[in-house]
């Protein structure tokens, strides 16, 4: 990682976009950059660097598109259409990727670019001469959440599940911004070590950051939400529940009308959203471009077996359409729309409904069935006022919560990780044009973990092909 990271980043720590330069120009000073001393020479320029890190998170190869869309087509509920798909994400949907594919390579380097930018801010903000202690705390806290967000996404994609083996090789762990040893490189850290770093960053940020009214920035609430996700992956049910409650505390869930207007711009239950504008968005490389039936690629479809899991009285069933003039074979999805222009839509990354469902899952796992049923009912009754509160217990109640996660969060980037973190069977039938059926004990389960990019193995002296994930 070190060699390529130096080539891409260290020569060009930019004020606004923190863009890296090519390895062919390693020894040249880019004309659109300023020195690191200048970046951290004032609060204004350091804050601009933080905005550049947010820009990196929003890139289409990371949080803007690749993360959420791949996490759903690696499941059983939605798919890329078999025709008119423009060849986007086909090997991901087929779960037949190789270490040199762009869908493997691009998120890895985008994630590490973000981590490296965050490292710079965390390690240098204390030296900003005109920044107040409060401003320094805010810069560092947001950068810690950004780093944790990127590490968690990368760990989920490129590592086996924590439930399978917390000591398994995971991603590369680097929190330094200066001591980059090109000769030795970095080995893959244990998953438990990566999670410990994520936990440390988020605990610090949650305690130091204030709540921000602008949900286009990370704050204490979003730090707690990410802790809830982290502990959910680890099966630490009490901690996941407690942080989910903190993240959703005093938030009003959107009403049923919000289900049809709440996914192109932030709403009452938004905890964090990527704040795209009409002048600054990923246009065709955006969720609405792939999901909305017109305007863009419009190639995402829903499986009929998934659609049939919604009762007729469930308002969310209206998010699926059968229109013969567009596609007579599969269901269209109208959950993610454009806002006046192609691709112009904020991407809601964290919302309170997810936190309520985390609470429900954890309470069910802890044997607190009444509390789990109550939390589950909050989500169910909004979509279906006539819904009856569950009376299930034990595994049956857990299964109900997991099904509700599928119904509520589809398209938002959770299904791949939900299958993997709980080591669930993977069964893909129905309308799917690539079908699978395997369990966590079958050799094919390796497909739920991406390979380490070949570009990393080739560039990193500490790695060889023997460090590659199983199956690749």
- pLDDT tens digit at each of 472 positions of the chain: 434 433 333 333 333 333 333 333 223 344 445 677 789 999 999 999 999 999 999 999 999 999 999 999 999 999 999 999 999 999 999 999 999 999 999 999 999 999 999 999 999 999 999 999 999 999 999 999 999 999 999 999 999 999 999 999 999 999 986 655 567 899 999 999 999 999 999 999 999 999 999 999 999 999 999 999 999 999 999 999 999 999 999 999 999 988 888 799 999 999 999 999 999 999 999 999 999 999 999 999 999 999 999 999 999 999 999 999 999 999 999 999 999 899 999 999 999 999 999 999 999 999 999 999 999 999 999 999 999 999 999 999 999 999 999 999 999 999 999 999 999 999 999 999 999 999 999 999 999 999 999 999 999 999 999 999 999 9
Q: Residue 181 has what pLDDT? A: 56
Q: Residue 101 has what pLDDT? A: 98
15-38 per-residue burial string, b: 16 or more CB within 10 A, e: under 16: bebbbbbeeeeeeeeeeebbeeee
From the list 124, 117, 151, 144, the residue with the least C-alpha distance to 16 is 117
Measured CA to CA, the distance from residue 8 to residue 25 in angstroms comes to 10
What is the DSSP-derived secondary structure letter of residue 389?
A: P
From the list 70, 165, 88, the residue with the least C-alpha distance to 413 is 70
DSSP bridge pairs for 332: 321
pTM: 0.93
- Give the pair of three-digit tokens for residue 104: 């493997």
From the list 157, 156, 153, 190, the residue with the least C-alpha distance to 173 is 190
Q: Residue 178 has what pLDDT? A: 61
Q: Residue 261 has what pLDDT? A: 84
Q: Residue 36 has what pLDDT? A: 76
Measured CA to CA, the distance from residue 244 to residue 267 in angstroms comes to 18
Q: How many residues does the chain have?
A: 472
Other C-beta atoms closer than 10 Å to the C-beta of 212 total 16
List the domains of the chain with CATH numbers: 1-209+410-472 (1.25.40.390), 250-409 (1.25.40.390)
Answer for the pair 194, 173: CB distance below 8 angstroms, yes or no: yes
């Amino acid at each position: 990682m070190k060699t390529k990271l130096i080539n891409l980043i260290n020569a060009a720590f930019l004020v606004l976009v923190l863009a890296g330069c090519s390895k062919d120009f390693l020894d040249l000073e880019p004309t659109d950059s300023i020195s690191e001393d200048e970046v951290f020479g004032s609060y204004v320029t350091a804050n601009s660097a933080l905005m550049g890190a947010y820009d990196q998170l929003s890139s289409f190869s990371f949080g803007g598109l690749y993360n959420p869309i791949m996490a759903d087509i690696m499941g059983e509920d939605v798919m890329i259409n078999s025709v008119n798909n423009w060849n986007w994400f086909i090997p991901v949907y087929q779960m037949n990727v190789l270490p040199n594919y762009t869908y493997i390579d691009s998120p890895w380097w985008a994630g590490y670019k973000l981590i490296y930018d965050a490292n710079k801010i965390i390690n240098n903000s204390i030296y900003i001469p005109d920044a107040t202690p409060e401003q320094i705390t805010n810069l560092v806290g947001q950068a810690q959440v950004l780093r944790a967000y990127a590490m968690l996404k990368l760990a989920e994609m490129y590592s086996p599940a924590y439930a399978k083996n917390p000591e398994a090789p995971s991603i590369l762990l680097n929190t330094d911004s200066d001591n980059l040893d090109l000769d030795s490189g970095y080995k893959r850290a244990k998953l438990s070590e990566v999670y410990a770093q994520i936990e440390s960053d988020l605990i610090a940020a949650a305690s130091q950051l204030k709540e921000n009214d602008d949900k286009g920035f990370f704050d204490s609430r979003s730090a707690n939400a990410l802790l809830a996700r982290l502990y959910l992956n680890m099966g630490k049910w009490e901690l996941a529940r407690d942080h989910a409650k903190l993240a959703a505390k005093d938030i009003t869930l959107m009403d049923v009308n919000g289900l049809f207007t709440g996914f192109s711009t932030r709403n009452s239950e938004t905890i964090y959203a990527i704040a795209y504008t009409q002048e600054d968005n990923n246009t065709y490389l955006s969720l609405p471009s792939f999901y909305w039936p017109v305007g863009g690629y419009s190639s995402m479809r829903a499986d009929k077996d998934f659609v049939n899991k919604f009762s007729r009285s469930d308002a969310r069933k209206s998010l699926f359409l059968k229109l013969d003039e567009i596609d007579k074979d599969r269901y269209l999805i109208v959950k993610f729309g454009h806002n006046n222009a192609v691709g112009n839509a904020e991407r809601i990354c964290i919302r309170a409904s997810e936190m309520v469902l985390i609470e429900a899952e954890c309470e069910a796992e802890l044997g607190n069935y009444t509390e789990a049923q109550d939390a589950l009912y909050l989500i169910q009754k909004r979509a279906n006022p006539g819904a009856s509160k569950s009376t299930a217990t034990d595994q049956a109640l857990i299964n109900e919560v997991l099904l509700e996660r599928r119904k509520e969060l589809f398209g938002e980037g959770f299904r791949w990780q939900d299958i993997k973190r709980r080591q669930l069977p993977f069964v893909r039938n129905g309308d799917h044009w690539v079908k699978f059926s395997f369990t966590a004990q079958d050799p094919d389960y390796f497909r739920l973990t991406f390979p380490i990019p070949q570009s990393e193995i080739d560039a990193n002296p500490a790695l060889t092909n023997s460090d590659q994930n199983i199956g690749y």
